Amino acid sequence: MSLFDHQDITVDTEITADVVIVGTGPGGAAAGRVFAEAGLSVIWLEEGPKESRFRPNQANATRYHYQEGGTMIAQGSTLMPVTAGRGVGGGSLVNSALAFRAPDYVLQEWADLLDDDRFSPENAGLIYDEVSAIIGVGITRADIGGENNALIVRGAAALGYEGGWAPRNTPGCIGCGLCNTGCLSGGKGSVDRNLIVMARAAGAKVYADTKVDQVLVEDGRAVGLSGQVHHPDTGEPIARLTVRAPKVMISAGAIGTPRLLFHAGIADQLGPAVGKGLRVHPGSAVLALCDHDVNIWTGATQGAYFHVPGLPGVLPHTFNAPPEVVVMSLMSAGIGGKEAMDMLGKVCGIIVLVSDHGDGSVSATHDGRADIKYYFDDADIDRCKAGMIASARVLLAGGAKTLFAPVRGLGFYDSVEAFEEALMPTTLDDFTNYSAHPMATCRMGLDPETSVIGPSGEAHHLPGLYLADASVFPTSLGVNPQLTTMMTATVIAKGMV
């Protein structure tokens, strides 16, 4: 047996391994696979449940598969929800499965900043190839794409924009549109179905329902982790599980990793950069009404994208959501509940993602919850608006008829010019902001004053402690981060064996 939970650890227990890892999401899974296949004994500790508890509704997903029940909010320039996944498979359980590679200019910047050619486009590309093959990355098929995606593909092609059907790790996708609440069909290549399976076959073990709250340090070196085993339904504490290992890795995500370091009381020891430099890929949506049925919740989740000429770091891609989320989005645009229900089936949409230059931080409250701050850069708001205007063009070119957006004060427009005229005077306070891509809170770097770990993944100020998740990105990425998280963690892990 290699998969355990609260039913298996009922008394305080201490075990040993070569490597102990917090988190089974894209970073932790990728690193653990490398360690296990190199012959090291690996133990994962995971806060969420060992088996997916998927249901086709957002409420169930937030309860079991989103950190802090999907209630994390960044405060600062405005209030902004920030989401991150949990459970064996982490964020890959509930993400949209987009599997973009980082742009070459981003990778080259990392290689230069780190003085490490492993992150150059050429060398990182080999790791991308390796991981992509394992998790089943392929281009979204038109036959399961759905009309919402197809409309965007048509519009981008009509305007001559680079893009089209998007790369996703969904080798068995049936186009049900439920990625964000968990893949009920089993068609998504979330890491619980590949990287973790491979590692378990090589001897790795997973202990779920275990919320780590202590990093063990002896003689100035990290030597293990300890966490509280709890009941996944009630939260009732059951026992304490401690794992001692010469290699300790934290892969709890860009929110979870600094939160743990602060809650465990070792953040100050690791230097001033812990939790600093948060980037979130802020974005907003452009929606439109068609005179034909779209049913935005059907088809491949976020299966289309395009690049806007002259706007590097701005990535418009499909807005796809279940009916209840779409209705809430419509109501946030000032549309009444009955009217929202009447127009629901004819809505299409695009999300505009921005590689941000804002700044934020993550720490922990006294009870271990995330304390998140984020402050927007004005230029990012301007870039988001430019991306929204381009998205409006794509929607109309693809067959939509009437434009609107979840931005206070906007109405309905049948031309891009009218939409642009109304959008440009709006301010950040008018937007409905959201982020699902936190990153860069425990950065890799050469300077201990501005980074937490070196290119090896080891903490500058605490030997034996390694980090490998989106928190270690040296900069904002500009594309959905899961594949780059796996690439980065694989590079770090291969350097440790």
With H, G, I as helix, E, B as strand and everything else as coil, classify residue 381: helix
- Per residue in 437-481, pLDDT tens? 999 999 999 999 999 999 999 999 999 999 999 999 999 999 999
- Per residue in 234-281, pLDDT tens? 999 999 999 999 999 999 999 999 999 999 999 999 999 999 999 999
Contact between 160 and 394 (Cβ < 8 Å):
no
Confidence category of residue 145, pLDDT binned at 50, 70, 90: very high
Q: Return the bridge partners of 413, or none.
A: 403
Prediction pTM value: 0.96
Hey, what domains does the chain have and what are their CATH numbers? 3-97+100-136+182-275+442-496 (3.50.50.60), 138-168+282-430 (3.30.410)
CA terminus-to-terminus distance, the chain: 25
The rounded percent of the chain whose pLDDT value lies above 90 is: 90
- Per residue in 76-129, pLDDT tens? 999 999 999 999 999 999 999 999 999 999 999 999 999 999 999 999 999 999
| Cα separations in angstroms, 140 against 299, 314, 325 | 10, 21, 23
- Per residue in 314-363, pLDDT tens? 999 999 888 887 887 777 667 787 888 888 999 999 999 999 999 999 99
Of the candidates 92, 119, 100, 97, which has an alpha carbon nearest to the alpha carbon of residue 25? 92
Q: Return d(Cα 390, Cα 381) in angstroms, integer.
A: 14
Contact between 410 and 425 (Cβ < 8 Å):
no
Q: Which of 46-55, 233-242, 385-394 shows the lowest per-residue confidence on average (mean pLDDT)?
A: 46-55
Q: Return d(Cα 22, Cα 210) in angstroms, integer.
A: 9
Question: How many C-beta neighbours within 10 Å does residue 244 have?
Answer: 17
Question: How many C-beta neighbours within 10 Å does residue 103 have?
Answer: 18
Tokens of 387: 């991306």
